[in-house]
Structure 1
Amino acid sequence: MRDDLSDFEYERRFFCHAFPADLDDGDAPILIVQSYYVHQDNFALRVRLQAHNVRLAMDDQTQAIATLQRHRDAFTDASVTVKGPAIGGTRYEAERDIDPDVAVELVLRGGSPIVKNRYSAWLGEDGWDIDVFGGSNAPLIVAEAERRGPVTDLVIPDFCVTEITDDVRFSNDGLAERPYALWKEQFEYELLTTGPHFLEGFGTNRREKH
């Protein structure tokens, strides 16, 4: 749980075509089911549940609620989070722990849910989270680097195709409101015609094989 002095997140996020297989050490990733009750103008109210011993298949199309019901007893961590708009890789995010049983009931009763497996790895100078989405957001894969301050002079692994830090479509609340499956072809066309891009206002970007 964050304290009042650290209620900001600093991260940069990237679209990936595929999950880097060498980062899968065989241990089960974190299973995350989260639901958004407010997701308008980049403001959000989120309830999140986490389980540490459940893996979704990479091509799993299972929806979030079905996953939550199937693995209900496995969720041991839960939180409620208030998020402000994301501006240049910085977002206000006040997160507080809540009882997992209460969180399950909240998610079952409302909001717009998503489901994903989260893998974590230390690459070069930073810790990275790689999220593999299920349900109507499959087969989306997003990698993010998060720090306690602005993410500058970042070493970007080669499996990161293009930066999506400021693309609200890829925010988790954006994906809850309008799942990736609805605009996947449109985005792939954009990427094909305009090519990848990386934000230039955060020092020097360095590309590196992991």
Structure 2
Amino acid sequence: MDDDRDDFEFERRFFCRELPEDLDDGDAPTLIVQSYFVHSDNYALRVRLQAEGVRRTMDAHTDALHVLMEERERFSAASLTAKGPVVGGTRYEAERPLDPGIATELVMRGGSLIVKNRYGIWLGEDWWNVDIFGGGNSPLAVAEVERSGPVTDLVIPPFCITEITNDARFSNDGLAERPYRTWARAFEDELRAKGSRFLNDFGPNRTLD
């Protein structure tokens, strides 16, 4: 029997300006196209496709469906995932593998799409993913760290501007429904007014030198 804990993700997420150049080792990131068929009240049903060794520009003109069609033969992994709301850095996430051909046909037929490049980097004690979004979510960059249990005593790299772990606006399903570019200016005003914040619910935060 599967451990029920396998259907939960434990992560912390951070708003960034960009991926620092010195953290890009030159290898192509993971290209991700995903579609949300349900995204309401932070519940979501997602179909995701991933391609390795593909470097696509992520800017405001990057169209998820066009990328999918142009690279469809290079998507080698896909999944179907059901998600629940985030509570204290924990989210129910039941992910199951899906045939990439079936996933492509599903995404082509509907849902709200997202396209992004994902960079994976060892920083301090943790493996970090940094997502660079295209299309309506450009120029958003989000860094996240995920563990098999609660993410405590985290060493936070300096390019992380503020924590968005519990901010539903920045969940991928939230971004699919309401792209970042439509409210980026309001968020920047909010950030200037309130300043950065980092959660202390998970033990002391440390800074990566």
Please give the range of the TM-score, normalised by the shorter of the 2 chains.
Answer: over 0.9
The answer to whether 1:140 aligns with 2:140 is yes
| 1:56 Cα offset (Å) | 1.9
Tell me the SS of whatever aligns to 1:71: helix
**Corresponding residue of 1:49:** 49
Q: Tell me if structure 1 keeps the 8 A contact 2:60–2:136.
A: no
Distance 2:61 2:149 in 1: 36
Distance 2:208 2:5 in 1: 33
Distance 1:58 1:156 in 2: 25
| 1:149 Cα offset (Å) | 0.3
| 1:147 Cα offset (Å) | 0.2
TM-score normalised per structure 1: 0.96
Distance 2:75 2:39 in 1: 24
User: What letter corresponds to residue 138 of structure 1 in structure 2?
Assistant: S
The answer to whether 1:29 aligns with 2:40 is no
**Corresponding residue of 1:74:** 74
**Corresponding residue of 1:179:** 179
Distance 1:136 1:64 in 2: 10
Q: Which runs of 5+ in 1 are unaligned?
A: none
Distance 1:208 1:5 in 2: 29
1:124 to 1:102, Cα distance in 2 relative to 1, 3 A: same
Q: How many residues in Structure 1 have an aligned counterpart in Structure 2?
A: 208
**Corresponding residue of 1:159:** 159
Distance 1:41 1:60 in 2: 27
User: What letter corresponds to residue 110 of structure 1 in structure 2?
Assistant: G
| 1:193 Cα offset (Å) | 0.9
Deviations 1:91-114 (A, max 9, x none): 000000010000000000000010
Aligned-residue CA RMSD (Å): 1.2
Tell me the SS of whatever aligns to 2:160: coil
| Runs of 4+ in structure 1 over 3 Å off | 2-5
